[in-house]
Amino acid sequence: MTMGEHILVPLDGSARAECILPVARDLAIHLATSLILFRVIPPDTRSADELDTLRRLNDLAREFELLSPARGRVARGDPVSEIRQACDPGPGHGEVALIAMSTHGRSGISRWLLGSVAEAIVRTAPVPVVLLNNRVSGLGPSSKLGLTRAVPPLDLTRPWSERCAGLKSGPIVVPLDGSSLAESVIPIASRLARLLSQRLHLVSVVTPVPSEVSVMIGTWGGDRFAYEATRSEAETTVAAARTQLEARGHAVTGEVRMGNPGDEVLRAVNREGAGLVAMATHGRAGVARAVLGSVADHIVRQAPCPVVLVGPAAARG
């Protein structure tokens, strides 16, 4: 795959949504792309208000001038449809490499993610989507697992460049489950690792299968034979992906863990000090699961770093 000319950054006019800007800036520098600061407004917005919105976006874009080219763009209509359409190459638009957005917007809670805009964008966008959660930006509590570092409350009165953190140096964690759908993330993970000069850390998680005896007595003994077979399959998956990536010149590590997939991936992320997580939104289920309620959603909410999601449309591309 090749990187496009732009990173599309959907904003909604709120300080919370702007928390993605340092991450988008750092990605644009490393990927040698420009930024499009994108705002979707209601169809009945007055022309004067539309011009004012564009002016504000361009004022924001000028803050990037010394680091990466950036410009504002405004569209009228449904946010999901307009963001999806903005990814299509067109006269004066060029190609979009990534979408980068915060999971928080005007509502102060995860409206972008919870059953609304971000979920639909990840599902339909033809390019990977980089999501930044409230824990990284300081908008929410620390992880329930007690794994992520505490972050100070976000001061929304300060400029985005002062209150929000950019990419941190660290390996890219790539969860795999042995399916071709989950492995659709490997090309973008490989590309990002090369451009960011980072190691790739592959993780596959084996979920114990309770035996009939353990269920009867209320313990979590598990079926030893089923576990060993599944673990062997997971080890083969990690070894094959590692061989493939090392052949491309990458530094790669890998591991197989046992437990809840979302929790175990997060433990690996924290232990490795990851700078990014890159994963598909669906795997063995065979169909594109909604982000909400899935392993991907759990990781997006809890990860102490941005998460790059490859949805079904991006995987097909």
Q: Which CATH superfamily is domain 172-316 in?
A: HUPs (3.40.50.620)
Classify 105 as helix, strand or coil: coil
Q: Tokens 């570092």 — which residue?
A: 149
Q: Which tokens hold the place of 49?
A: 């208000």
CB 116 within 8 A of CB 28: no
Q: What is the pLDDT of residue 305?
A: 95
Which is more confidently placed, 16 or 241? 241
Q: Where is average pLDDT lowest: 16-20, 68-72, 135-139, 257-261?
A: 135-139
Residue of higher predicted confidence among 138 and 32: 32
CB 151 within 8 A of CB 136: yes
Confirm whether 6-157 and 172-316 share one CATH topology.
yes
- Sign of torsion over alpha carbons 76, 77, 78, 80: negative
pLDDT of amino acid 230 = 83
Question: Mean pLDDT for the chain?
Answer: 80
User: Which band of pLDDT confidence, cut at 50, 70 and 90, is reported for residue 121?
Assistant: confident
Taking the domains of the chain in order of start, what are their residue ranges?
6-157, 172-316
Structure tokens at 90: 């067109």
Alpha-carbon gap, residue 16 to 150, rounded angstroms: 18
What are residue 285's phi and psi, to 5 degrees? -60, -25
What pLDDT shows up at residue 148? 38
Helix/strand/coil for 173? strand
d(CA 97, CA 27) in angstroms, rounded, equals: 11
**Any idea what DSSP says for residue 113?**
T
CB 205 within 8 A of CB 259: yes
Is 6-157 a CATH 3.40.50.620 domain? Answer: yes
Per-residue pLDDT at 151 exceeds 70: no
Amino acid symbol at 201? H
Helical H segments across 37-166, by residue range: 47-62, 79-86, 117-124, 134-137, 160-163
pLDDT band, residue 136 (cuts 50/70/90): low
Determine the residue type at 276.
Answer: L
Bridge partners of 309?
Answer: 129, 279
Q: pLDDT (tens digit, 9 = 90+) per residue, 249-290? A: 999 999 999 988 999 999 999 999 999 999 998 655 443 443
What would the pLDDT profile of 172-184 be if each residue is shown by its tens digit? 999 998 888 888 9
Q: Which residue has the tokens 């437990």?
A: 259
What is the per-residue pLDDT for 135? 66
